């Protein structure tokens, strides 16, 4: 029901929800909807609201989970600068929903973990394809996961750690951490798949020995770790500095060495 009966009988206020009367919590605050002008009551302490959205989709979500927050709760917490400490990780995301006058996506899957420099959380936005919101240190960043593109080219300082964590890629590896396992042709004569091992896990790369080859795909345990290279710039047939992987430098060193080895093999024939 989108309407209210408020009975000013004695001390307590009641509202009508799903055909039953509910007591308005003692700390209830009146929030006027910025879109419809309707008035709802939010309880900052209970993290509850009298609106239909909260009753229908959010009342069973535990406290301190941002999915419990309808647009009115966000409106109160952000507008009044009263966000509970337990939700501070999501501050940037909640600012964003505040501007759009939306509640937190109620069915979003939230991933959150500690990256050493603090906690990071990310979740899929509304109707936004592959776009995610990434929250870190009070800010929100827009992230297109499949291509690792960031809104306004701005990413959190913990981006690499976050992606490594997500892909299960080991951190802080020595340059020579990858052990050669095998190499095989990948169709065309100059295209190869090389296979290596890191701490017992498989790493696989599709590489090309052609001059000016610009990209390679690298998989770690079957998962693609986005990887672009510009070949043909630097000395010794290696790679330029414009390398990008979630495991540099061991990956670039490994691919450089394998390319050299394969080229030498081809030249000797």
Pairing of strands 119-124, 223-225: unpaired
Of the candidates 225, 229, 228, the one whose C-alpha atom is nearest the C-alpha of residue 239 is 229
Q: How many residues bind Zn ion (CB under 5 A)?
A: 5
- The least CB distance from residue 80 to Zn ion, in Å, is 15
Pairing of strands 179-186, 188-198: antiparallel
- The least CB distance from residue 50 to Zn ion, in Å, is 7
- Piece of the chain touching Zn ion by CB under 5 A; list 67-75, 149-157, 169-177, 223-231: 67-75
- The least CB distance from residue 48 to Zn ion, in Å, is 9
Q: Which is nearer to Zn ion, 70 or 207 (CB)?
A: 70
Map the footprint of Zn ion across residues 117-156, applying CB under 5 A.
Answer: none
- The least CB distance from residue 224 to Zn ion, in Å, is 41
- Residue 169 · residue 177 · CB < 8 Å: no
Q: Is 72 in the site for Zn ion (CB under 5 A)?
A: yes
Q: Which is nearer to Zn ion, 92 or 103 (CB)?
A: 103
* Cis ω before 249 (30° cut-off from 0): yes
Residue 219's H or E segment, with its range, is strand 217-220
Q: Which is nearer to Zn ion, 32 or 157 (CB)?
A: 32
- Piece of the chain touching Zn ion by CB under 5 A; list 3-11, 48-56, 117-125, 174-182: 48-56
Taken as a whole, the chain contains a residue count of 269
- Piece of the chain touching Zn ion by CB under 5 A; list 68-76, 137-145, 149-157, 210-218: 68-76
Q: Which is nearer to Zn ion, 32 or 242 (CB)?
A: 32
List 49, 198, 209, 259, residue binding Zn ion (CB under 5 A): 49
Q: Which residues have CB under 8 Å from 156's CB, separation 6+? A: 120, 134, 136, 137, 139, 141, 162
Map the footprint of Zn ion across residues 206-235, applying CB under 5 A.
Answer: none
Strand ranges across the sheet with 149-150: 110-114, 119-124, 131-136, 139-144, 149-150
- The least CB distance from residue 33 to Zn ion, in Å, is 8
Q: Which residue has the tokens 């993290």?
A: 47
List 13, 28, 51, 259, residue binding Zn ion (CB under 5 A): 51
What Å distances lie between residue 209 and 135, 160, 251, CA to CA? Answer: 40, 28, 16
How many other CB atoms are found less than 10 A from the CB of residue 180? 13
**Neighbour-count burial of 153, counting CB atoms closer than 10 A to its CB (0-12 exposed, 13-18 middle, 19+ buried):** exposed
Q: Is 70 in the site for Zn ion (CB under 5 A)?
A: yes
- The least CB distance from residue 65 to Zn ion, in Å, is 15
Q: Which residue has the tokens 């490594």?
A: 164
- The least CB distance from residue 43 to Zn ion, in Å, is 11
List 41, 54, 77, 192, residue binding Zn ion (CB under 5 A): 54
* Interatomic CA distance for residues 185 and 167, integer angstroms: 27
Q: Which is nearer to Zn ion, 51 or 209 (CB)?
A: 51
- Which chain residues interact with Zn ion by CB under 5 A? 49, 51, 54, 70, 72
């Amino acid at each position: 029901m989108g309407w209210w009966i408020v009975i000013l009988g004695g001390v307590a206020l009641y509202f009508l929800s799903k055909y039953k009367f509910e007591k308005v919590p003692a700390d209830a605050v009146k929030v006027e909807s910025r879109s419809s002008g309707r008035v709802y009551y939010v309880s900052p302490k209970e993290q509850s609201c009298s609106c239909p959205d909260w009753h229908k989709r959010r009342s069973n979500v535990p406290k301190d989970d941002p999915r419990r927050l309808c647009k009115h709760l966000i409106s109160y917490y952000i507008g009044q600068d009263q966000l509970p400490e337990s939700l501070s990780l999501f501050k940037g995301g909640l600012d964003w929903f505040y501007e759009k006058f939306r509640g937190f996506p109620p069915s979003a899957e939230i991933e959150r973990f500690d990256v050493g420099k603090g906690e990071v959380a990310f979740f899929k936005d509304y109707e936004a394809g592959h776009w995610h919101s990434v929250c870190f240190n009070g800010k929100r960043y827009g992230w297109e996961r499949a291509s690792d593109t960031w809104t306004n080219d701005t990413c959190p300082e913990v981006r690499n750690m976050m992606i490594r964590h997500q892909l299960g890629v080991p951190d802080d590896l020595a340059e020579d951490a990858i052990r050669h396992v095998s190499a095989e042709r990948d169709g065309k004569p100059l295209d190869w798949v090389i296979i290596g091992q890191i701490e017992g896990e498989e790493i696989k790369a599709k590489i090309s020995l052609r001059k000016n080859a610009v990209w390679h795909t690298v998989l770690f345990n079957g998962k693609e770790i986005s990887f672009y290279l510009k070949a043909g710039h630097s000395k010794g047939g290696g790679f330029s500095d414009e390398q990008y992987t979630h495991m540099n430098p061991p990956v670039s060193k490994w691919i450089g060495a394998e390319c050299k080895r394969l080229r030498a093999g081809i030249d000797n024939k």
